[in-house]
Amino acid sequence: MTVPAFGLGTFRLKDDVVRRVVADALELGYRAIDTAQGYDNEAEIGEVLSQSGVPREQVYLTTKIKPANYRREALLDSLRQSLEKLRVEQVDLTLIHWPVPRGEVRPEEYLSALAEAREAGLTREIGVSNFNIAGLKQAREVLGGVPIATNQVEIHPYLQNRTLVEFARQEGLHLTSYMTLAVGKVMGDEVLQDIARAHNATPAQVALAWALGQGHSVIPSSTKRENLASNLQAQTLRLTAEDMARIAALEQGEAARIANPPQARPDWD
């Protein structure tokens, strides 16, 4: 696995907020940053990175291609534009943001274009986001020997995506959990609060440690410096088998899904 286990997510962070958060994160020791063309914050992130003093080779930078740019030429051109905004010659990882299974551009085209972007040196690695099992199988067929670095999907205590997780584990495919904190819902959960008290931790740290303990990468976000610092400590939190079993019982299935745009989503497993 080359995708870092812990990084900073920047979804919904804009303008001066994303500048401040990324600057704080880098000062605190974050060395992986996740963005996307659709987040409309690549330029601000690039500005902070260039001024941070942190060597480029120390930061693992991920962006995602938005569906409007899935045509071959548009994908390549848009990624070049992303590099300009981020002020880098190459990103470490580029993902297809959503599969859009019933869209005008077929997966064969945008996946092949993504592989071409890798071959051209625009991105070191490639991957996907929000792909179901069928989509992952198709992606492997299209990409051939080009490895899929990760599939970034919504995974949190209330939506544990067990079928997809088991498939990925059997196939050796890495997963990145996004919305691991369920947009803050974990903070008020009595089970997670109880586990947190037993470890002198926070419910957020418990949720992140749970995901990390399954081998997933995580990319939590916060606008508060103290939360950014606290989240980092989840990397050293070791949950017991009983803790993991209690969290497993929190599963609510599809009713708990947060990110679910009808025009782009696959048929979830």
Q: Which residues are the active-site residues? A: 39
- Greatest extent of the chain over all pairs of C-alpha atoms, in Å: 54
**What distances in angstroms separate CA 183 from CA 48, 108, 155, 158, one per listed residue?**
25, 33, 11, 11
Q: How far apart are CA 175 and CA 162, in angstroms?
A: 12
- Nearest in space to 222 (alpha carbons), one of 70, 18, 39: 18
CA distance 109 to 83: 21
Q: Residues 126, 120: contact at Cβ < 8 Å? A: no
Of residues 203, 189, 209, 202, the one with CA closest to residue 256:
189
Secondary structure letter of residue 225 according to DSSP: H
